[in-house]
Amino acid sequence: MKKPIIGVTALFDDEKNSIWMLPSYLDAITDAGGVPVILPIIDNEEDIKILVNKFDGFLLAGGQDINPEIYNENKSTHCGDVNIARDTMEKALLNEILNVDKPILAICRGFQLLNSYLGGSLYQDIKIDRNNNKDSVHRQEKPYNKPTHKVMIKKHSLLFDIMKKEEIMVNSMHHQAIKKVSPKVSDAAISEDGVIESIYMKDRRFVLGIQWHPEHLYKDYPEQFNIFKEFISRCY
C-alpha cells in the first residue's frame, strides 16, 4: 500500500554540530500512516527543489528561535539562540513548497517561521514584550504530554474542521509568539491571554501552523491525533 513520504525539518545541536530529532514527531507521522524522513540542512536551491519534488508533504518542526532579521527586527537580548543555516534552508524550503503547493504542518518554531516568512512578526519574548507574567503557562516543565492551558478555536477555520471543538487544552513550550499575523494567513485559535495559537492558509491544499506540540499529546488525546491524520490524508 502506498504511503505518503513526509520530509521533517531537523533540529540542530550547535555544540555538537549535528542534526537530531525527537522521536515523537516521527512516531506521530508513522502512526497516522505516513513515512517520515529527516531532512538535511542544505542551502543549494536546486537541491532543495529536488527534495521538495521527492516528498508528498512536510512537517516543519520546533527548535531554536527565528532570526529576527527575517521579520525586519534587530535581535534583542531576550531573544534566544538562532541558527542561521537552518533559517536559510527552511526559508528556501518553505518558498519551494508553497510554489508547488504541497501540504505543510508547521509546529512551534515551524509555525513561527511560517508567519514570519509570509510577512508577519514575533514577540522575541512573551513575558518581556507583552508584559505577560500570568494567565496561560507558555513554557511548561516536563512531562510534556500534560496540557497546561486552554485554546479557543474559531469556527469555520481549518483547525475547527479538524478538531470539531471550540475549546481544547494544549501543552506549551515556547517563549516567543506571533505579534503581527501575516496578511497571507488567517488566525484559527487563540489562548486565554491573547496569544495566537494557530494559523492557516485558505488558498492552499493544506497549510496549518500550530504553536503547541501535538506530537506529545496525540497518544492520549484523540483530537490531537486528528491533526496528524488530516495532514497525512492531504498528502496523497
Q: Which residues are catalytic?
A: 108, 213, 215
Residue 210: alpha-carbon gap to chain centroid: 5
d(C-alpha 228, C-alpha 223), whole Å: 10
Terminal C-alpha separation, the chain: 12
DSSP string spanning 160-184? HHHH--SEEEE--B-S-EEEE--TT
How many Cα atoms sit within 13 Å of 129 on the Cβ side?
A: 18
Which residue reads 536546486 in cell numbers?
Answer: 46
* Bridge partner list, 8: 38, 59
d(C-alpha 188, C-alpha 181), whole Å: 11
